[in-house]
Amino acid sequence: MKALQLSSFGSPADVVELAEIEPDDPGPGQLTVAIEAAPINPSDLMLIKGVYGVRPELPAAIGAEGVGRVIAVGDGVDPSRVGERVLVVPTLEQTTWRQTTVLDERNGVPVNADGDPMQLAMLGINPITAHCLLHGYTKLAPGASVAQTGASSATAGYVVALAKHAGLRTLNVVRRADSVTPLLDAGADVVLVEGGDLADRAAEAIGDAPLELIIDAVAGEPVAKLASLLKAGGPIVSYTARNRQPLNIPIVDLIFRGLSVHGYWLNRWLASTPQATIVRTYRELADLVDNGTLATQVEATYALADYREAFGHADRNDRHGKVLFTFQ
């Protein structure tokens, strides 16, 4: 069986290798899953570079999320699960950049056997993150305004789709002018390019109603400029450290207006949330993938053997879609 393995931390093209390994048999309570598709996420590349929230013991198998078919089960697992398509929950207890993987039964969530495997493969990290960011920190009624920075990312696209589904308005801040039209076409209400007058343009766009939530993906000045428009006591939630920038919030807003700052990490949410809630939430999101509410552009797919090209493509700043490994 072919699998990608990490030998040391550094540049992905230099420290990852394609290995031939013996497949494991499923133990009690486990499933063996033949992977159909597995995305490459910024968090995967950060882990390989050694700048993520965890560092696996080396050498290590890699790849956090994906979708596949159950091909074998261990003792105590219903044999009828063989043939079932499952989402691999990205707990980092099992890996997906390999032809088959073994996982505990609780980490294989059944999804539509006839659905788009690439869209379902991307369900594990970005859509659940978008859902938690929107609904985990404040109660938002239909019509509420939500702002997000770094709005050209895949996660931000899911925020737009889920917000629209819930009747929320989104104000989206991007770095490049060429990101504006695609976001508007995808259902964003307002898209603004970063700049010194961001606060004034954002205030004009939202009118009298304050922002009720700020979702942050870039830190730095854009968040500071939006903070003045957030309602008193409102939350700011940061969910990625990719840019390694400090979060700048005016101290007067923290003290006198009671704004709150939070950090979100999916691994922490998975570890602290009841299993029934995790499964229910993924199933609800999978239904939205099936009916077309949730989807993101796929820019390219690669075989495992072409991993160097895949990593280079996934790490490009000018991408307009996701990069995945696919398996015959």
pLDDT of 241 = 67
Least confident of 87-96, 276-285, 311-320: 311-320
Q: Categorize the per-residue pLDDT at 248 as very low, low, confident or very high, splitting at 50, 70 and 90.
A: confident
Give the pLDDT confidence score for residue 25 in this predicted structure. Answer: 95
| 250-267 per-position pLDDT tens digit | 888 889 999 999 999 999
Q: What is the pLDDT of residue 220?
A: 84
Q: What is the pLDDT of residue 177?
A: 93
Q: What is the pLDDT of residues 34-71, one digit of tens each?
A: 999 999 999 999 999 999 989 999 999 999 999 999 99
**pLDDT, mean over the chain:** 95
In 10 A of CB 235, how many CB atoms? 18
The pLDDT of residue 189:
97
Residue-level pLDDT at 240 = 85
Question: What's the pLDDT band for 2 if we cut at 50, 70, 90?
Answer: very high
Structural domains of the chain sorted by starting position, each given as residue range(s) with its CATH number in brackets = 2-122+288-326 (3.90.180.10), 126-264 (3.40.50.720)
Q: How high is the pLDDT of residue 250? A: 86
Against a cut of 0.85, is the pTM above it?
Answer: yes
Answer whether residue 112 shows pLDDT above 90: yes
Residues 284-309 have pLDDT tens digits of: 999 999 999 999 999 999 999 999 99
